[in-house]
Amino acid sequence: MEYALAVDLGGTKVETALVDADGILLAGSRFRAPTGRDNPSDDIAAGIRGIVRDAVAALPEDGTLIGAGIGSAGPITVAPGLVSPLNLPQWRDFPLRDLVASALPHDLPVSLRKDGECITIAEHWVGAGRGVDDMMGMVVSTGVGGGLILGGIAVAGPTGNAGEIGHIEVGGFDDLCDCGGVGCLEGVASGPKTVAWARRQGWTGTTGEELAASYAAADPIARAAVRRSGRALGQALASATAFTDLSLVAVGGGFSKVTPDLLDFAREAVAERREYRYVTALRIVPSGLSNDGPLIGAAALIHRAHFVA
């Protein structure tokens, strides 16, 4: 059995796992280390080396490791393998691809793409986007990311950052974004930014999980916060669809699960473009891959290299 090592780097954590050619994670091969903006760069790097080695050590005796795929929060610079995750300010042009390669036991291929592109590839391969040739995958979590498949081709762009919907500005919002923009989708609708907005209105919780509980308990501020985020999400997706003629968007990530109503609010905003029926025909669906999508997509950079080249 051939396996790819998958690495998923985000603003809160980094994970590794072994994934087979059918997109299935090998039991016992998944490992996690913390990241975070307050964690020293050397500690993050050491954590990644450690969990890469842990995952490789889980390779079965009859298994073959054929390469490593990395999905990273953006922006990235794909050709030299550098990452500058917005939520990890201690890493700017960090050589993540070389770091992972140095922890592997052999001279194996290592491929890097943006996490949003990875989740899109995973959804197209084995998730909610199977058979859909014009789609976007999204991560709504600590940040908001996305990737594109157009005409059946994974679109990365010259630097690897195509489909970065988190930094499309949405009308009617003046929230400051960490990228320097105003009204960016990530600055409005990510988990931490939604929590921060709710706290400014007087809500006393501190986490997305607590916000979800308050929403379920009909707390009016929590309800307003989630509706606000869902509307921003829908406005951005309507704009992206007007521009690229998407058929489907599959939404994953931790904060996307705050309530199923989040996607309903997004659909309501899309439906307002009623005179553009190709926009209102957009289907917005939950990820079909739960929390495994980013790792499956990273592994697809190796298993389906022909699709992402």
pLDDT band of residue 309 (cuts 50, 70, 90) is: low
Tell whether the model's pLDDT for residue 293 goes beyond 70: yes
Tell whether the model's pLDDT for residue 307 goes beyond 80: no
The reply to whether 187 falls in a domain is yes
The reply to whether 205 falls in a domain is yes
Q: Which of 139, 6, 158, 157 is nearest to 85 (CA)?
A: 139
The reply to whether 122 falls in a domain is no
- Which domain, by its residues, includes 283? 130-288
The CA distance from 207 to 39, in Å, is 19
Residues 101 and 138 in one domain: no
Average pLDDT over residues 238-257: 95
Residue in the block written with tokens 């690229």: 244
Residues 20 and 161 in one domain: no
Tell whether the model's pLDDT for residue 165 goes beyond 70: yes
Average pLDDT over residues 173-197: 95
Average pLDDT over residues 79-96: 95
How many helices and strands, by DSSP H and E, does the chain display?
11, 12
Q: What angle do CA 145, 294, 72 make, to 5 degrees?
A: 60
Alpha carbon 276 to its chain's center: 28
Tell whether the model's pLDDT for residue 107 goes beyond 90: no
Average pLDDT over residues 153-173: 93
Tell whether the model's pLDDT for residue 303 goes beyond 80: yes
The reply to whether 123 falls in a domain is no
Q: What's the CATH code of the domain at 259?
A: 3.30.420.40
Contacts of 309 (CB under 8 A, 6+ apart): none
Phi, psi of 122 (to 5 degrees): -65, -45
Tell whether the model's pLDDT for residue 290 goes beyond 80: no
Alpha carbon 296 to its chain's center: 12
Residues 275 and 239 in one domain: yes
Residues 223 and 150 in one domain: yes
With the C-alpha atoms ordered 250, 256, 260, 264, is the resulting torsion angle positive or negative?
negative
**What share of the chain in percent tops pLDDT 90?**
88
Whole-number pLDDT of residue 105? 85
Q: Which of 236, 168, 227, 170 is nearest to 201 (CA)?
A: 227
Average pLDDT over residues 29-38: 95
With the C-alpha atoms ordered 211, 214, 216, 221, is the resulting torsion angle positive or negative?
negative
pLDDT digits (tens, 9 = 90+) for 119-162: 999 999 999 999 999 999 998 988 898 999 999 989 989 999 99
Whole-number pLDDT of residue 78? 94
Residues 179 and 275 in one domain: yes
pLDDT band of residue 96 (cuts 50, 70, 90) is: very high
Average pLDDT over residues 236-264: 95
The CA distance from 239 to 233, in Å, is 10
Contact 4, 67 (CB under 8 A): yes
Quote the number of domains for the chain.
2
Residues 109 and 134 in one domain: no
The reply to whether 275 falls in a domain is yes
The CA distance from 199 to 225, in Å, is 10
Tell whether the model's pLDDT for residue 45 goes beyond 70: yes
Alpha carbon 63 to its chain's center: 28
Average pLDDT over residues 86-107: 94
Whole-number pLDDT of residue 306? 81
Whole-number pLDDT of residue 12? 86
Residues 203 and 83 in one domain: no
Tell whether the model's pLDDT for residue 113 goes beyond 90: yes
Whole-number pLDDT of residue 143? 87
pTM value is 0.89
Residues 44 and 158 in one domain: no
